[in-house]
Structure 1
Amino acid sequence: MVAARFLGTASGHLERVVGALPAAGSLSGRSILPIGRFRPNFILSTPPLGGAGRRGVRAARPTRAAMGGGDLFALDFDGVLCDSCGESSLSAVKAAKVRWPWVFEQVDSAMEEWIVEQMYTLRPVVETGYENLLLVRLLVEIQIPSIRKSSVADELSIQDILENWLKLKPTLMDEWQEDRESLVDLFGRVRDDWIENDLSGWIGANRFYPGTADALKLSSSETYIVTTKQSRFAEALLKELAGIDFPSERIYGLGTGPKVKVLQQLQQMPQHQGLTLHFIEDRLATLKNVIKEPALDKWNLYLVTWGYNTQKEREEAQDISRVQLVDLPDFSKKLK
Protein backbone atom coordinates (compact mmCIF):
# COMPACT_ATOMS: atom_id res chain seq x y z
CA MET A 1 0.00 0.00 0.00
CA VAL A 2 1.43 3.38 -0.88
CA ALA A 3 0.59 6.79 0.44
CA ALA A 4 0.53 8.61 -2.85
CA ARG A 5 -0.57 7.78 -6.37
CA PHE A 6 0.05 9.47 -9.68
CA LEU A 7 -2.56 10.50 -12.19
CA GLY A 8 -2.19 11.38 -15.84
CA THR A 9 -3.77 14.70 -16.75
CA ALA A 10 -5.13 16.25 -19.89
CA SER A 11 -1.97 18.30 -20.29
CA GLY A 12 0.11 15.15 -20.16
CA HIS A 13 2.05 15.87 -16.97
CA LEU A 14 1.89 13.86 -13.80
CA GLU A 15 0.24 15.06 -10.63
CA ARG A 16 0.43 13.61 -7.14
CA VAL A 17 -2.60 13.20 -4.93
CA VAL A 18 -1.41 14.37 -1.53
CA GLY A 19 -4.05 13.99 1.14
CA ALA A 20 -7.42 15.56 0.57
CA LEU A 21 -7.69 19.33 0.51
CA PRO A 22 -11.41 20.03 0.87
CA ALA A 23 -13.54 22.63 -0.78
CA ALA A 24 -13.91 25.78 1.30
CA GLY A 25 -16.16 25.24 4.28
CA SER A 26 -16.20 21.44 4.16
CA LEU A 27 -14.36 18.52 5.73
CA SER A 28 -14.31 16.40 2.59
CA GLY A 29 -13.40 16.54 -1.07
CA ARG A 30 -10.09 16.12 -2.90
CA SER A 31 -7.51 18.40 -4.38
CA ILE A 32 -4.65 17.56 -6.70
CA LEU A 33 -1.38 19.42 -6.19
CA PRO A 34 1.08 19.49 -9.11
CA ILE A 35 4.46 17.98 -8.32
CA GLY A 36 6.23 21.23 -9.19
CA ARG A 37 8.36 22.33 -6.27
CA PHE A 38 6.32 20.32 -3.76
CA ARG A 39 8.62 18.44 -1.41
CA PRO A 40 8.12 14.70 -1.87
CA ASN A 41 10.41 13.41 0.86
CA PHE A 42 7.62 12.82 3.34
CA ILE A 43 5.60 10.65 0.95
CA LEU A 44 6.44 7.11 1.97
CA SER A 45 5.06 3.64 1.60
CA THR A 46 3.43 2.50 4.82
CA PRO A 47 3.70 -0.88 6.52
CA PRO A 48 0.64 -3.14 6.63
CA LEU A 49 -2.11 -1.61 8.71
CA GLY A 50 -3.64 -3.48 11.57
CA GLY A 51 -3.54 -4.18 15.27
CA ALA A 52 -0.69 -4.43 17.71
CA GLY A 53 -0.24 -8.13 17.06
CA ARG A 54 0.46 -7.84 13.35
CA ARG A 55 3.80 -8.64 11.77
CA GLY A 56 6.35 -5.84 12.02
CA VAL A 57 5.03 -4.23 15.21
CA ARG A 58 7.43 -4.54 18.11
CA ALA A 59 6.74 -4.03 21.78
CA ALA A 60 9.22 -2.14 23.94
CA ARG A 61 12.27 -4.06 25.16
CA PRO A 62 12.75 -4.65 28.89
CA THR A 63 14.39 -1.57 30.36
CA ARG A 64 17.69 -1.31 32.19
CA ALA A 65 15.83 0.49 34.98
CA ALA A 66 14.03 -2.77 35.75
CA MET A 67 17.46 -4.23 36.45
CA GLY A 68 18.63 -1.23 38.50
CA GLY A 69 20.34 1.98 37.35
CA GLY A 70 20.20 3.19 33.79
CA ASP A 71 18.83 6.16 31.89
CA LEU A 72 15.53 7.91 31.34
CA PHE A 73 14.91 9.65 28.03
CA ALA A 74 12.13 12.18 27.48
CA LEU A 75 11.82 12.67 23.73
CA ASP A 76 9.97 15.29 21.76
CA PHE A 77 8.03 13.75 18.87
CA ASP A 78 7.70 16.19 15.96
CA GLY A 79 11.14 17.33 14.91
CA VAL A 80 12.98 14.67 16.91
CA LEU A 81 11.43 11.33 15.97
CA CYS A 82 9.02 12.28 13.21
CA ASP A 83 9.01 14.78 10.36
CA SER A 84 5.34 15.68 10.27
CA CYS A 85 5.67 19.02 8.50
CA GLY A 86 4.03 17.75 5.31
CA GLU A 87 1.02 16.35 7.14
CA SER A 88 0.61 19.28 9.52
CA SER A 89 0.81 21.78 6.66
CA LEU A 90 -1.78 19.93 4.58
CA SER A 91 -4.02 19.47 7.62
CA ALA A 92 -3.70 23.18 8.37
CA VAL A 93 -4.80 24.09 4.84
CA LYS A 94 -7.79 21.75 5.21
CA ALA A 95 -8.71 23.24 8.59
CA ALA A 96 -8.19 26.83 7.47
CA LYS A 97 -10.61 26.25 4.59
CA VAL A 98 -13.20 25.05 7.06
CA ARG A 99 -12.62 27.90 9.50
CA TRP A 100 -12.36 30.76 7.00
CA PRO A 101 -13.93 29.62 3.70
CA TRP A 102 -14.17 33.18 2.33
CA VAL A 103 -10.41 33.60 2.68
CA PHE A 104 -9.83 30.80 0.16
CA GLU A 105 -12.25 31.92 -2.54
CA GLN A 106 -9.34 33.33 -4.57
CA VAL A 107 -6.80 30.65 -3.65
CA ASP A 108 -5.95 28.25 -6.46
CA SER A 109 -3.87 25.06 -6.40
CA ALA A 110 -0.67 26.93 -7.28
CA MET A 111 -1.07 29.17 -4.25
CA GLU A 112 -1.84 26.17 -2.05
CA GLU A 113 1.42 24.64 -3.21
CA TRP A 114 3.27 27.87 -2.42
CA ILE A 115 1.70 27.95 1.05
CA VAL A 116 2.83 24.40 1.85
CA GLU A 117 6.35 25.23 0.63
CA GLN A 118 6.55 28.25 2.95
CA MET A 119 5.33 26.16 5.86
CA TYR A 120 8.55 24.14 5.71
CA THR A 121 10.52 27.33 6.26
CA LEU A 122 8.18 28.56 8.99
CA ARG A 123 7.90 25.27 10.88
CA PRO A 124 10.53 26.22 13.53
CA VAL A 125 8.20 28.87 15.01
CA VAL A 126 5.36 26.41 15.63
CA GLU A 127 5.08 25.18 19.20
CA THR A 128 1.54 23.77 19.07
CA GLY A 129 -0.25 22.47 15.98
CA TYR A 130 -3.08 25.00 15.84
CA GLU A 131 -0.52 27.73 15.06
CA ASN A 132 -0.22 26.19 11.60
CA LEU A 133 -3.74 27.46 10.84
CA LEU A 134 -2.74 30.99 11.75
CA LEU A 135 0.33 30.78 9.54
CA VAL A 136 -1.68 29.47 6.59
CA ARG A 137 -4.19 32.31 6.81
CA LEU A 138 -1.43 34.87 7.26
CA LEU A 139 0.30 33.61 4.12
CA VAL A 140 -2.95 34.00 2.18
CA GLU A 141 -3.38 37.55 3.47
CA ILE A 142 0.18 38.37 2.41
CA GLN A 143 -0.61 37.18 -1.11
CA ILE A 144 -4.14 38.62 -1.45
CA PRO A 145 -4.43 42.15 0.01
CA SER A 146 -8.17 42.38 -0.69
CA ILE A 147 -9.05 39.79 1.98
CA ARG A 148 -6.79 41.14 4.74
CA LYS A 149 -8.25 41.46 8.21
CA SER A 150 -4.95 41.86 10.05
CA SER A 151 -2.81 44.95 10.42
CA VAL A 152 0.49 43.05 10.15
CA ALA A 153 0.29 41.36 6.74
CA ASP A 154 1.26 44.38 4.64
CA GLU A 155 4.84 43.98 3.35
CA LEU A 156 5.44 41.15 5.83
CA SER A 157 8.17 38.74 4.72
CA ILE A 158 8.81 35.11 5.64
CA GLN A 159 11.89 36.21 7.55
CA ASP A 160 9.79 38.75 9.46
CA ILE A 161 7.48 35.94 10.56
CA LEU A 162 10.41 33.78 11.66
CA GLU A 163 11.87 36.57 13.75
CA ASN A 164 8.66 38.00 15.23
CA TRP A 165 6.15 35.16 15.52
CA LEU A 166 5.74 35.44 19.29
CA LYS A 167 4.59 39.04 18.81
CA LEU A 168 2.56 38.39 15.66
CA LYS A 169 0.56 35.46 17.04
CA PRO A 170 -1.41 37.32 19.75
CA THR A 171 -2.08 40.19 17.34
CA LEU A 172 -3.54 37.81 14.77
CA MET A 173 -5.63 35.98 17.37
CA ASP A 174 -7.07 39.30 18.54
CA GLU A 175 -7.69 40.85 15.12
CA TRP A 176 -9.23 37.66 13.73
CA GLN A 177 -11.22 37.19 16.96
CA GLU A 178 -10.03 33.62 17.40
CA ASP A 179 -9.57 31.49 20.50
CA ARG A 180 -6.98 28.80 21.03
CA GLU A 181 -9.27 25.97 22.11
CA SER A 182 -11.53 26.26 19.07
CA LEU A 183 -8.56 26.09 16.72
CA VAL A 184 -7.03 23.16 18.60
CA ASP A 185 -10.34 21.30 18.41
CA LEU A 186 -10.78 22.01 14.70
CA PHE A 187 -7.23 20.94 13.87
CA GLY A 188 -7.79 17.66 15.70
CA ARG A 189 -11.16 17.03 14.02
CA VAL A 190 -9.72 17.64 10.56
CA ARG A 191 -6.94 15.15 11.25
CA ASP A 192 -9.45 12.63 12.59
CA ASP A 193 -11.53 13.06 9.43
CA TRP A 194 -8.49 12.54 7.21
CA ILE A 195 -7.50 9.42 9.17
CA GLU A 196 -11.02 7.99 8.99
CA ASN A 197 -11.36 8.53 5.25
CA ASP A 198 -7.78 8.07 4.05
CA LEU A 199 -5.58 6.47 6.71
CA SER A 200 -2.78 5.49 4.34
CA GLY A 201 -2.70 9.01 2.89
CA TRP A 202 -2.44 10.57 6.35
CA ILE A 203 0.22 8.12 7.48
CA GLY A 204 2.17 8.61 4.27
CA ALA A 205 2.32 12.38 4.71
CA ASN A 206 4.68 11.77 7.65
CA ARG A 207 8.10 10.17 7.90
CA PHE A 208 10.41 9.14 10.71
CA TYR A 209 13.89 10.58 10.57
CA PRO A 210 16.51 8.01 9.49
CA GLY A 211 17.38 5.66 12.34
CA THR A 212 15.05 7.14 14.95
CA ALA A 213 12.42 4.40 14.77
CA ASP A 214 15.04 1.65 15.09
CA ALA A 215 16.69 3.48 17.98
CA LEU A 216 13.36 3.65 19.79
CA LYS A 217 12.57 -0.01 19.09
CA LEU A 218 15.93 -1.24 20.35
CA SER A 219 16.29 1.07 23.35
CA SER A 220 16.53 -0.61 26.75
CA SER A 221 16.30 2.72 28.59
CA GLU A 222 13.20 4.15 30.24
CA THR A 223 11.70 6.15 27.37
CA TYR A 224 8.84 8.64 27.31
CA ILE A 225 7.48 10.92 24.61
CA VAL A 226 6.76 14.49 25.69
CA THR A 227 5.04 16.41 22.91
CA THR A 228 2.59 19.20 22.16
CA LYS A 229 0.99 16.88 19.60
CA GLN A 230 -2.29 15.24 20.55
CA SER A 231 -1.30 11.84 21.94
CA ARG A 232 -3.56 9.75 19.71
CA PHE A 233 -1.82 11.02 16.59
CA ALA A 234 1.67 10.28 17.93
CA GLU A 235 0.57 6.80 18.99
CA ALA A 236 -0.98 6.10 15.58
CA LEU A 237 2.19 7.12 13.74
CA LEU A 238 4.39 5.05 16.02
CA LYS A 239 2.26 1.97 15.41
CA GLU A 240 1.33 2.32 11.75
CA LEU A 241 4.41 4.00 10.30
CA ALA A 242 7.27 2.99 12.61
CA GLY A 243 5.88 -0.40 13.62
CA ILE A 244 6.27 0.31 17.34
CA ASP A 245 3.63 -0.65 19.89
CA PHE A 246 4.58 2.18 22.24
CA PRO A 247 2.70 2.23 25.58
CA SER A 248 0.10 5.00 25.52
CA GLU A 249 0.75 5.81 29.17
CA ARG A 250 4.28 6.83 28.22
CA ILE A 251 3.08 9.48 25.77
CA TYR A 252 2.53 12.89 27.36
CA GLY A 253 0.73 14.86 24.68
CA LEU A 254 -1.28 18.04 24.31
CA GLY A 255 -3.36 18.65 27.41
CA THR A 256 -1.01 16.96 29.89
CA GLY A 257 0.58 20.26 30.86
CA PRO A 258 3.68 22.25 29.90
CA LYS A 259 6.78 20.20 29.21
CA VAL A 260 8.56 21.59 32.27
CA LYS A 261 5.75 20.22 34.44
CA VAL A 262 5.86 16.83 32.72
CA LEU A 263 9.61 16.60 33.31
CA GLN A 264 9.05 17.37 36.98
CA GLN A 265 6.46 14.59 37.18
CA LEU A 266 8.78 12.10 35.52
CA GLN A 267 11.74 12.82 37.77
CA GLN A 268 9.60 12.56 40.90
CA MET A 269 8.23 9.10 40.13
CA PRO A 270 9.61 6.54 42.62
CA GLN A 271 10.62 4.11 39.87
CA HIS A 272 12.81 6.78 38.27
CA GLN A 273 14.94 7.56 41.30
CA GLY A 274 18.62 7.00 40.58
CA LEU A 275 18.24 7.19 36.80
CA THR A 276 20.25 9.59 34.66
CA LEU A 277 17.79 12.02 33.06
CA HIS A 278 17.92 13.13 29.41
CA PHE A 279 15.57 15.49 27.54
CA ILE A 280 15.92 15.66 23.75
CA GLU A 281 14.20 18.53 21.91
CA ASP A 282 14.30 20.39 18.62
CA ARG A 283 13.11 23.75 20.02
CA LEU A 284 15.74 25.82 21.78
CA ALA A 285 13.04 27.95 23.45
CA THR A 286 11.71 24.85 25.21
CA LEU A 287 15.16 23.95 26.52
CA LYS A 288 15.59 27.51 27.79
CA ASN A 289 12.34 27.12 29.74
CA VAL A 290 13.76 24.00 31.38
CA ILE A 291 16.96 25.84 32.32
CA LYS A 292 14.88 28.49 34.10
CA GLU A 293 13.51 25.84 36.49
CA PRO A 294 16.02 25.05 39.28
CA ALA A 295 14.06 21.89 40.09
CA LEU A 296 15.07 20.51 36.68
CA ASP A 297 18.82 20.97 37.09
CA LYS A 298 19.41 17.21 36.98
CA TRP A 299 18.24 16.91 33.38
CA ASN A 300 20.80 16.60 30.60
CA LEU A 301 19.51 18.75 27.75
CA TYR A 302 20.01 18.13 24.03
CA LEU A 303 19.10 20.10 20.92
CA VAL A 304 18.89 17.95 17.81
CA THR A 305 20.61 19.14 14.65
CA TRP A 306 17.99 17.70 12.27
CA GLY A 307 14.68 19.02 13.61
CA TYR A 308 12.65 22.19 13.28
CA ASN A 309 15.27 24.69 14.29
CA THR A 310 17.49 27.16 12.49
CA GLN A 311 21.23 27.48 12.06
CA LYS A 312 21.09 30.61 14.20
CA GLU A 313 19.47 28.66 17.05
CA ARG A 314 22.01 25.85 16.79
CA GLU A 315 24.84 28.36 16.97
CA GLU A 316 23.22 29.99 20.00
CA ALA A 317 22.88 26.60 21.68
CA GLN A 318 26.62 26.05 21.42
CA ASP A 319 27.11 28.95 23.83
CA ILE A 320 24.71 27.53 26.44
CA SER A 321 26.55 25.25 28.83
CA ARG A 322 23.49 23.15 29.75
CA VAL A 323 22.63 22.34 26.14
CA GLN A 324 24.41 19.76 24.01
CA LEU A 325 23.93 19.44 20.26
CA VAL A 326 23.20 15.89 19.14
CA ASP A 327 23.18 14.49 15.61
CA LEU A 328 21.33 11.43 14.35
CA PRO A 329 24.15 8.86 14.83
CA ASP A 330 24.75 10.05 18.40
CA PHE A 331 21.01 9.97 19.11
CA SER A 332 20.82 6.30 18.16
CA LYS A 333 23.84 5.48 20.33
CA LYS A 334 22.43 7.30 23.36
CA LEU A 335 19.15 5.40 23.35
CA LYS A 336 20.78 1.95 23.46
Structure 2
Amino acid sequence: MQTQLFALDFDGVLCDSALETGLSGWQVASQIWPDMPTQMPEQILSDFRVVRPVMETGYEAILICRLLYEGTPSDLLIDDFPKQINLILLRENLAVADLKKQFGEYRDNWIKTDLASWIEMNPLYPGVREFLQQIPLQQRFIITTKQERFVIEILSANQINILPQQIYGLDRKLKKPQILEDLQRLNPIATILFVEDRLPTLLDVIQTPSLSAIKLFFANWGYNTSADKKQAMHNPRITTLETPSLHNLTH
Protein backbone atom coordinates (compact mmCIF):
# COMPACT_ATOMS: atom_id res chain seq x y z
CA MET A 1 0.00 0.00 0.00
CA GLN A 2 1.27 3.45 -0.92
CA THR A 3 2.38 5.57 2.06
CA GLN A 4 0.21 8.54 2.92
CA LEU A 5 1.72 11.67 4.45
CA PHE A 6 -0.62 14.04 6.27
CA ALA A 7 0.46 17.66 5.85
CA LEU A 8 -1.68 19.60 8.30
CA ASP A 9 -2.02 23.32 8.86
CA PHE A 10 -2.14 24.19 12.57
CA ASP A 11 -4.14 27.33 13.45
CA GLY A 12 -7.67 26.91 12.13
CA VAL A 13 -7.22 23.18 11.40
CA LEU A 14 -5.91 21.61 14.61
CA CYS A 15 -5.96 24.50 17.08
CA ASP A 16 -8.46 27.32 17.69
CA SER A 17 -5.92 29.99 18.58
CA ALA A 18 -8.03 33.06 17.71
CA LEU A 19 -8.58 34.11 21.32
CA GLU A 20 -4.92 33.85 22.34
CA THR A 21 -3.74 35.47 19.10
CA GLY A 22 -6.12 38.40 19.58
CA LEU A 23 -5.15 38.90 23.23
CA SER A 24 -1.41 38.66 22.43
CA GLY A 25 -1.80 41.04 19.48
CA TRP A 26 -3.62 43.55 21.69
CA GLN A 27 -0.96 43.46 24.42
CA VAL A 28 1.90 44.02 21.96
CA ALA A 29 -0.09 46.79 20.24
CA SER A 30 -0.65 48.51 23.60
CA GLN A 31 3.14 48.46 24.14
CA ILE A 32 3.68 50.14 20.74
CA TRP A 33 0.77 52.59 21.13
CA PRO A 34 0.44 53.65 24.79
CA ASP A 35 -2.93 55.35 24.12
CA MET A 36 -4.53 51.88 24.00
CA PRO A 37 -5.98 50.49 27.25
CA THR A 38 -4.30 47.39 28.72
CA GLN A 39 -7.56 45.45 28.70
CA MET A 40 -8.82 44.39 25.26
CA PRO A 41 -12.45 45.54 24.84
CA GLU A 42 -14.94 42.69 24.25
CA GLN A 43 -16.21 44.31 21.04
CA ILE A 44 -12.70 44.47 19.56
CA LEU A 45 -12.08 40.83 20.48
CA SER A 46 -15.35 39.94 18.77
CA ASP A 47 -14.37 41.98 15.67
CA PHE A 48 -10.93 40.34 15.71
CA ARG A 49 -12.56 36.90 15.39
CA VAL A 50 -14.49 38.22 12.36
CA VAL A 51 -11.26 39.47 10.70
CA ARG A 52 -9.18 36.38 11.65
CA PRO A 53 -9.91 34.46 8.39
CA VAL A 54 -7.89 36.98 6.32
CA MET A 55 -4.91 37.02 8.72
CA GLU A 56 -2.01 34.90 7.50
CA THR A 57 0.77 35.31 10.09
CA GLY A 58 0.52 35.95 13.85
CA TYR A 59 2.27 39.33 13.96
CA GLU A 60 -0.55 40.78 11.82
CA ALA A 61 -2.77 40.49 14.93
CA ILE A 62 -0.90 43.50 16.36
CA LEU A 63 -1.86 45.63 13.36
CA ILE A 64 -5.43 44.30 13.20
CA CYS A 65 -5.93 45.25 16.87
CA ARG A 66 -4.59 48.75 16.26
CA LEU A 67 -6.73 49.28 13.17
CA LEU A 68 -9.85 48.06 14.98
CA TYR A 69 -9.04 50.35 17.91
CA GLU A 70 -8.73 53.29 15.49
CA GLY A 71 -12.23 52.47 14.24
CA THR A 72 -11.44 50.69 10.97
CA PRO A 73 -14.56 48.61 10.17
CA SER A 74 -14.02 44.85 10.23
CA ASP A 75 -15.62 44.46 6.78
CA LEU A 76 -13.08 46.91 5.28
CA LEU A 77 -10.25 44.85 6.79
CA ILE A 78 -11.74 41.66 5.33
CA ASP A 79 -12.20 43.17 1.85
CA ASP A 80 -8.94 45.13 1.66
CA PHE A 81 -6.57 43.38 4.08
CA PRO A 82 -3.13 43.55 2.36
CA LYS A 83 -3.57 47.25 1.53
CA GLN A 84 -4.71 48.18 5.07
CA ILE A 85 -1.77 46.27 6.60
CA ASN A 86 0.75 47.91 4.25
CA LEU A 87 -0.70 51.36 4.95
CA ILE A 88 -0.28 51.07 8.72
CA LEU A 89 3.24 49.61 8.35
CA LEU A 90 4.22 52.62 6.21
CA ARG A 91 2.35 55.21 8.28
CA GLU A 92 3.90 54.04 11.56
CA ASN A 93 7.29 53.14 10.05
CA LEU A 94 7.12 49.60 11.44
CA ALA A 95 9.35 46.68 10.41
CA VAL A 96 7.75 43.26 10.00
CA ALA A 97 10.82 41.52 11.49
CA ASP A 98 10.51 43.63 14.66
CA LEU A 99 6.77 42.90 14.97
CA LYS A 100 7.39 39.14 14.59
CA LYS A 101 10.07 39.35 17.29
CA GLN A 102 7.84 41.31 19.69
CA PHE A 103 4.93 38.95 19.11
CA GLY A 104 7.09 35.85 19.72
CA GLU A 105 8.66 37.38 22.84
CA TYR A 106 5.25 38.29 24.30
CA ARG A 107 4.08 34.69 23.82
CA ASP A 108 7.32 33.29 25.26
CA ASN A 109 6.85 35.43 28.37
CA TRP A 110 3.21 34.35 28.76
CA ILE A 111 4.24 30.69 28.46
CA LYS A 112 7.04 31.18 30.99
CA THR A 113 4.86 32.97 33.56
CA ASP A 114 1.51 31.17 33.10
CA LEU A 115 1.68 28.15 30.80
CA ALA A 116 -1.69 26.78 31.96
CA SER A 117 -3.66 29.88 30.91
CA TRP A 118 -1.78 30.13 27.59
CA ILE A 119 -2.64 26.50 26.77
CA GLU A 120 -6.25 27.09 27.83
CA MET A 121 -6.47 29.96 25.30
CA ASN A 122 -5.22 27.59 22.52
CA PRO A 123 -7.70 24.69 22.61
CA LEU A 124 -7.61 21.92 20.02
CA TYR A 125 -10.79 21.60 17.97
CA PRO A 126 -13.13 18.77 19.03
CA GLY A 127 -11.94 15.44 17.62
CA VAL A 128 -8.42 16.65 16.75
CA ARG A 129 -6.63 14.68 19.47
CA GLU A 130 -8.23 11.40 18.37
CA PHE A 131 -7.64 12.30 14.71
CA LEU A 132 -3.90 12.87 15.25
CA GLN A 133 -3.48 9.77 17.38
CA GLN A 134 -4.77 7.65 14.47
CA ILE A 135 -1.99 8.95 12.20
CA PRO A 136 1.35 7.14 12.62
CA LEU A 137 4.04 9.43 14.03
CA GLN A 138 6.25 9.23 10.91
CA GLN A 139 3.33 10.34 8.72
CA ARG A 140 2.36 13.48 10.70
CA PHE A 141 3.63 16.77 9.29
CA ILE A 142 2.63 20.27 10.42
CA ILE A 143 2.85 23.09 7.88
CA THR A 144 2.13 26.40 9.56
CA THR A 145 2.93 30.11 9.71
CA LYS A 146 3.20 29.77 13.52
CA GLN A 147 6.60 29.59 15.22
CA GLU A 148 7.54 25.95 15.71
CA ARG A 149 8.15 26.10 19.46
CA PHE A 150 4.54 27.18 20.08
CA VAL A 151 3.20 24.23 18.07
CA ILE A 152 5.32 21.84 20.17
CA GLU A 153 4.07 23.43 23.45
CA ILE A 154 0.39 23.05 22.49
CA LEU A 155 0.69 19.50 21.15
CA SER A 156 2.77 18.24 24.08
CA ALA A 157 0.31 19.80 26.56
CA ASN A 158 -2.35 17.67 24.83
CA GLN A 159 -0.17 14.51 25.03
CA ILE A 160 0.40 14.45 21.26
CA ASN A 161 3.86 13.50 20.01
CA ILE A 162 5.34 15.16 16.95
CA LEU A 163 8.84 14.85 15.49
CA PRO A 164 10.32 18.40 15.59
CA GLN A 165 11.84 17.95 12.12
CA GLN A 166 8.31 17.32 10.78
CA ILE A 167 7.07 20.77 11.82
CA TYR A 168 7.53 23.34 9.06
CA GLY A 169 6.85 26.66 10.78
CA LEU A 170 7.50 30.38 10.50
CA ASP A 171 11.16 29.85 11.46
CA ARG A 172 11.87 28.15 8.12
CA LYS A 173 10.78 31.25 6.14
CA LEU A 174 9.20 29.13 3.35
CA LYS A 175 5.86 29.45 1.58
CA LYS A 176 3.55 26.45 1.90
CA PRO A 177 3.74 25.42 -1.81
CA GLN A 178 7.54 25.36 -1.47
CA ILE A 179 7.31 23.17 1.65
CA LEU A 180 4.94 20.78 -0.17
CA GLU A 181 7.39 20.61 -3.09
CA ASP A 182 10.18 19.69 -0.64
CA LEU A 183 8.01 17.02 1.00
CA GLN A 184 7.12 15.60 -2.41
CA ARG A 185 10.76 15.51 -3.49
CA LEU A 186 11.84 13.76 -0.27
CA ASN A 187 8.94 11.26 -0.43
CA PRO A 188 8.52 10.56 -4.17
CA ILE A 189 6.28 7.50 -3.82
CA ALA A 190 4.04 8.83 -1.03
CA THR A 191 0.58 10.36 -1.47
CA ILE A 192 0.49 13.73 0.29
CA LEU A 193 -2.80 14.89 1.81
CA PHE A 194 -2.77 18.62 2.63
CA VAL A 195 -5.41 19.97 5.04
CA GLU A 196 -5.74 23.77 5.19
CA ASP A 197 -8.43 26.23 6.29
CA ARG A 198 -7.27 29.18 4.14
CA LEU A 199 -8.67 29.01 0.63
CA PRO A 200 -5.98 31.36 -0.85
CA THR A 201 -3.30 28.89 0.28
CA LEU A 202 -5.08 25.98 -1.43
CA LEU A 203 -5.46 28.08 -4.59
CA ASP A 204 -1.70 28.83 -4.52
CA VAL A 205 -1.05 25.07 -4.47
CA ILE A 206 -3.47 24.53 -7.38
CA GLN A 207 -1.60 27.19 -9.36
CA THR A 208 1.70 25.34 -8.82
CA PRO A 209 1.90 22.74 -11.66
CA SER A 210 4.46 20.55 -9.85
CA LEU A 211 1.92 19.97 -7.03
CA SER A 212 -0.85 18.50 -9.18
CA ALA A 213 -0.65 15.10 -7.41
CA ILE A 214 -1.23 16.51 -3.91
CA LYS A 215 -4.68 15.86 -2.47
CA LEU A 216 -6.24 19.04 -1.12
CA PHE A 217 -8.70 19.32 1.76
CA PHE A 218 -10.50 22.44 2.97
CA ALA A 219 -11.11 22.58 6.75
CA ASN A 220 -14.61 24.05 6.86
CA TRP A 221 -14.46 24.58 10.66
CA GLY A 222 -11.43 26.88 10.52
CA TYR A 223 -10.77 30.54 9.75
CA ASN A 224 -12.60 31.07 6.48
CA THR A 225 -15.48 33.16 5.17
CA SER A 226 -18.82 31.97 3.75
CA ALA A 227 -17.54 33.05 0.30
CA ASP A 228 -14.45 30.84 0.81
CA LYS A 229 -16.64 27.87 1.77
CA LYS A 230 -18.77 28.32 -1.34
CA GLN A 231 -15.76 28.64 -3.66
CA ALA A 232 -14.02 25.61 -2.13
CA MET A 233 -17.17 23.53 -2.55
CA HIS A 234 -17.19 24.22 -6.30
CA ASN A 235 -13.48 23.62 -6.93
CA PRO A 236 -12.89 20.13 -8.40
CA ARG A 237 -9.39 19.84 -6.84
CA ILE A 238 -10.61 20.55 -3.32
CA THR A 239 -12.49 18.22 -0.95
CA THR A 240 -14.34 20.01 1.85
CA LEU A 241 -14.05 18.46 5.32
CA GLU A 242 -16.72 19.21 7.92
CA THR A 243 -14.83 17.73 10.91
CA PRO A 244 -11.30 16.43 11.61
CA SER A 245 -11.68 12.77 10.68
CA LEU A 246 -9.19 10.27 9.30
CA HIS A 247 -12.05 8.33 7.68
CA ASN A 248 -13.17 11.41 5.67
CA LEU A 249 -9.59 12.07 4.56
CA THR A 250 -8.81 8.58 3.34
CA HIS A 251 -12.13 7.49 1.82
Q: Which residue of 1 aligns with 2:179?
A: 262
Q: Which residue of 2 aligns with 1:93?
A: 26
Counterpart residue identity of residue 79, structure 1: G
TM-score normalised by the chain length of structure 2 = 0.94
Q: Does 1:222 align with 2:139?
A: yes
Structure 1 residue corresponding to 2:5, chosen from 57, 72, 75: 72
1:180/1:332 Cα in 2 relative to 1: closer, same or farther (>3 Å)?
farther
Structure 1 residue corresponding to 2:209, chosen from 285, 294, 309: 294
Give me the whole-angstrom Cα distance separating, in 2, the residues matched to 1:311 and 1:157.
18
TM-score normalised by the chain length of structure 1 = 0.71
**Does the CA contact (< 8 Å) of 2:134 and 2:246 recur in 1?**
no
**Does the CA contact (< 8 Å) of 2:127 and 2:245 recur in 1?**
no
Structure 1 residue corresponding to 2:101, chosen from 175, 185, 191: 185
Q: Which has the larger radius of gyration?
A: 1
Q: Does 1:209 align with 2:125?
A: yes
Q: Secondary structure at the match of 1:77?
A: coil
Q: 1:69 Cα deviation (Å)?
A: 2.0
Give me the whole-angstrom Cα distance separating, in 2, the residues matched to 1:214 and 1:329.
9
1:331/1:160 Cα in 2 relative to 1: closer, same or farther (>3 Å)?
farther
**Does the CA contact (< 8 Å) of 1:216 and 1:335 recur in 2?**
no
Q: Which residue of 1 aligns with 2:156?
A: 239
**Does the CA contact (< 8 Å) of 1:129 and 1:228 recur in 2?**
yes
Structure 2 residue corresponding to 1:133, chosen from 59, 62, 67: 62
Q: 1:273 Cα deviation (Å)?
A: 2.3
Q: Which has the higher helix share?
A: 2
Q: Does 1:118 align with 2:47?
A: yes
1:330/1:217 Cα in 2 relative to 1: closer, same or farther (>3 Å)?
closer
Tell me the percent identity.
36
Q: 1:82 Cα deviation (Å)?
A: 0.4
Q: Give CA-to-partner distance per residue, 1:42-88, whole Å, 9 cap, x none.
A: xxxxxxxxxxxxxxxxxxxxxxxxxx622111100000000001111
| Unmatched segments (≥5 aa) in structure 2 | none
Q: Secondary structure at the match of 2:2?
A: coil
| Unmatched segments (≥5 aa) in structure 1 | 1-67, 143-155
Q: Secondary structure at the match of 1:328?
A: coil
**Does the CA contact (< 8 Å) of 1:211 and 1:332 recur in 2?**
no
Q: 1:141 Cα deviation (Å)?
A: 0.9
